[in-house]
Amino acid sequence: MQKIDSLVVAAMEVAQIPVSLKTLQAFLPRDHVFLELWPQVAEQSILHPLQALNVVERLDHVLQQQLPGDVIECGVFQGVTSVLLAKLLDIRKSDKRLLLFDSFKGLPAPDRQADTSMRFQQGAWAASRQQVEALLAQHGVQQRCALFEGWFSETLPTLDAAQKFCFAYVDADLHASTVDCLQQLWPRMETNAVAVFDDYHHPSGGVRTALDAWVGNTGELVHVGPASQCYVIRGVHAGEGGFASLRLPVAGQRDIAISVDSLRSNQLFCALVRKRLEHLRALEAQLGQFAGLLQQRV
């Protein structure tokens, strides 16, 4: 079964393929809200369109369900995804608030036992509070946003006891930061609320181990992908919600349950997998011929 895990990780590599607006237009219905939103932030976003589309579609689905609770982003950086979330709330005429949490001085010190990638350094992804406020104002969405400055472990516990969330975007890069978010957010998430996690498949491993340990205890189903993301629907366990699931052994803890259903129905993702496969086959053929040439010379 562990093979499934490495297959999933390999498939996420398709997020290396650039996706233009023209490609998005070819795969999404003409009136898809992402086609209106993405061009407004694409140049500034650090997300691959697959990731941004996932965030937008997950929040939009939650809004259609009319779940109570606000929207939260943990790990804001320059606020570009915050703009995307706020604009979707505007388009859907939602009265939900968008709560934005960040140190505004970048990552805390990583625990190198848990966060192995040197990409995640102390102070990386630093953007100032003023920078984020300016971007929100530039896009005219500042009114529904509230900024919380400081380490998650200090700011999240200050939330009002009555504060609930229907949607969370957790983009915290590191193991300890993700654990802080899980501990503080889970009791505030309504049943069927959705939490999207970035970097779940990142080789650094910190987000992965944090979430796997968490769902190992709760038994909630992890919807893997697209790209480095995954999402969890609060209170939905393996065998529930009509999702096909697979059991995945994780070293040192209880098995977790994953689903690839949302990838299966993601036409853009499936097309990118096929495109990547064609490219690799062509490359393999060329390399094979080249290897033949080398042998002749010897």
Ligand X SMILES: C[S@@+](CC[C@H](N)C(=O)[O-])C[C@H]1O[C@@H](n2cnc3c(N)ncnc32)[C@H](O)[C@@H]1O
Contact between 172 and ligand X by CB under 6 A: the answer reads yes
Read off the tokens for 254: 């209880």
Closest contact distance (angstroms) between CB of 54 and ligand X is 12
Give how many residues touch ligand X by CB under 6 A: 21
Contact between 173 and ligand X by CB under 6 A: the answer reads yes
Q: Which of 41, 80, 147, 213 forms a contact with ligand X (CB under 6 A)?
A: 80
Q: Which of 38, 125, 200, 231 forms a contact with ligand X (CB under 6 A)?
A: 125
Q: Which of 12, 47, 135, 196 forms a contact with ligand X (CB under 6 A)?
A: 47
Nearer to ligand X, 32 or 105 (CB): 105
Q: Rounded to whole angstroms, how far apart are CA atoms 192 and 235?
A: 6
Nearest to 256 by CA among 271, 265, 246: 246
Q: Which of 76, 135, 185, 272 forms a contact with ligand X (CB under 6 A)?
A: 76
Contact between 107 and ligand X by CB under 6 A: the answer reads yes
Binding to ligand X by CB under 6 A, coded x per residue (else -) over 126-165, reads -------------------------xx-------------
How many contiguous H segments (helices) and E segments (strands) does the chain have?
Answer: 11, 9
Nearer to ligand X, 195 or 256 (CB): 195
Q: E strand or H helix at 65, and its extent?
A: none
* Contact between residue 176 and residue 69 where contact means Cβ atoms under 8 Å apart: no
Q: Rounded to whole angstroms, how far apart are CA atoms 234 and 242?
A: 15
* Inter-residue long-range contacts of 108-111, CB under 8 Å, 24+ positions, other chains counted: 108/151, 108/174, 108/176, 108/177, 110/174, 110/175, 110/206, 111/174, 111/175, 111/176, 111/206
DSSP codes joined into one string, 163-190: --EEEEEE---SHHHHHHHHHHHGGGEE
Nearer to ligand X, 5 or 102 (CB): 102
Contact between 204 and ligand X by CB under 6 A: the answer reads no
Nearest to 148 by CA among 255, 75, 254: 75
Nearer to ligand X, 82 or 245 (CB): 82
Q: Rounded to whole angstroms, how far apart are CA atoms 163 and 185?
A: 10
Nearer to ligand X, 81 or 245 (CB): 81
Q: Which of 1, 21, 26, 46 forms a contact with ligand X (CB under 6 A)?
A: 46
Nearer to ligand X, 125 or 269 (CB): 125
Contact between 209 and ligand X by CB under 6 A: the answer reads no
Contact between 27 and ligand X by CB under 6 A: the answer reads no
Residue 277 DSSP SS3: helix
User: Could you give phi then psi for residue 229, rounded to 5 degrees?
Assistant: -90, 170
Nearer to ligand X, 119 or 279 (CB): 119
Contact between 177 and ligand X by CB under 6 A: the answer reads yes
- The residue sitting closest to ligand X, measured at its beta carbon, is 75
Pairing of strands 189-197, 230-237: antiparallel
Binding site for ligand X (CB under 6 A): 46-47, 75-77, 80-81, 102-103, 106-108, 125, 151-152, 171-174, 177, 180
